[in-house]
Amino acid sequence: MLDTAIEAARRAGQAVAEHYPAARNVTVKGYRDVVTEVDYIAERIVLETIRARFPDHTILSEEAGESAPGSRYTWIVDPIDGTTNYSRRLPICSVSVGLLEDDVPIVGAIYDPLRDQMFAAQRGQGAQLDGTPIRASRVETLADAVVGLDWGHADEVRERTLAHVNQVAPWCRTVRALGSAALALAYVAAGWLDVYFNLGMKPWDTAAGTVLVAEAGGRITTPAGAPYRVDIPECLATNGLIHDQILFRLRERARAYQQEGQ
Ligand code: IPD
Ligand code: CA
Ligand code: CA
């Protein structure tokens, strides 16, 4: 299953990279949300690759929706994570292929087609970048932490994201917004980011990344500290060592917010 995830992500990513120099055909599909014809091309490649091996498995994919429901295995696919970047030629995007077994993420492959980097993990087997084991960072204090985030689309999500940024940015090394949630989670797994949070996640943004972060020794919860599931939009991923410090800062924000409302 890991081999299939890797092959599907790589084959789709090769198409993404091949089309990168060409003109974009960009369609608006929602509020602050676009899709390109390459999203559909990449998606078709991923779905064909999975279906050829596992025709009975359920697949949930961002553009195509759900197919073959009812299996205990569900593949979760984001054919291009970072479509806004891709459509603007900002060279940060990924193909994300995750697999759940009875709702538990067990396999994840996140491929960066523009750097030819394959991040992959299987539950209990560790995480790898191009076949070499990776670990989350050893940064222990928030003051040294490089924090990633993304903004989501909805106004309300952005307002709350800003409040979270206000609570973290004054205390950390710096903050980055890359525009590909899946790739940012892979970067937490690789130790390149120490923290990543996003309040507007979809299952296809996180399914593969959760396996990578956990297998690299990191930790994922909601920003309130509750257990994370891929159907929860709010996600906080860290190297594990600074998780409680971030939760403390975010809880301070929640307390202040509650007091303001009283
Ligand atoms: C988006 C990216 C972005 C995140 C958005 C997602 P897409 O995915 O992951 O980083 O902030 O919420 O929708 O639309 O490019 O697949
Ligand atoms: Ca996405
Ligand atoms: Ca996408």
Which phi and psi (to 5°) does residue 91 adopt? -80, 60
Rounded to the nearest 10 degrees, the angle between the axes of helix 181-190 and helix 203-215 is 0
Which phi and psi (to 5°) does residue 7 adopt? -65, -45
Report how many domains make up the chain.
2
Q: Judge if 6 and 130 occupy the same domain.
A: yes
At residue 230, the pLDDT reads 97
Q: Looking at the CA of 64, which ligand is closest? A: 3
Tell me the residue type at 243. H
Containing structural domain, residue 198: 142-261
Q: Judge if 77 and 151 occupy the same domain.
A: no
Q: Judge if 63 and 163 occupy the same domain.
A: no
Q: What is the mean pLDDT of each run of 10 residues along the chain (262 residues)?
A: 98 97 87 91 98 98 95 98 95 98 97 98 98 98 97 92 93 97 98 98 98 98 96 97 95 66 58
Q: Judge if 77 and 164 occupy the same domain.
A: no
Q: Judge if 99 and 147 occupy the same domain.
A: no
Q: Judge if 70 and 153 occupy the same domain.
A: no
Q: With a 6 A CB cut-off, is 79 part of the ligand 1 pocket?
A: no
Q: What does each C-alpha distance from 71 to 67, 102, 207, 211, 212 come to in angstroms?
A: 10, 9, 17, 20, 23
At residue 177, the pLDDT reads 97
Last residue of a domain, one of 115, 134, 153: 134
Q: Judge if 91 and 167 occupy the same domain.
A: no
Q: Looking at the CA of 62, which ligand is closest? A: 3
Q: With a 6 A CB cut-off, is 81 part of the ligand 1 pocket?
A: yes
Q: With a 6 A CB cut-off, is 181 part of the ligand 1 pocket?
A: yes
What is the CATH number for 14?
A: 3.30.540.10
Q: Judge if 36 and 79 occupy the same domain.
A: yes
Query: Contact, 113 vs 183, CB < 8 A?
Result: no
Q: Judge if 34 and 122 occupy the same domain.
A: yes
Last residue of a domain, one of 134, 168, 190: 134
Last residue of a domain, one of 110, 134, 158: 134
Q: With a 6 A CB cut-off, is 152 part of the ligand 1 pocket?
A: yes
Q: Which two tokens stand for residue 39?
A: 């999203």
Q: Judge if 218 and 190 occupy the same domain.
A: yes
Q: Judge if 184 and 118 occupy the same domain.
A: no
Q: Which two tokens stand for residue 105?
A: 């993420």
What count of Cα atoms within 13 Å lies in the side-chain half-sphere of residue 218?
34
Sign of the C-alpha dihedral, residues 157, 217, 250, 170? negative
pTM for this prediction? 0.95
At residue 33, the pLDDT reads 86
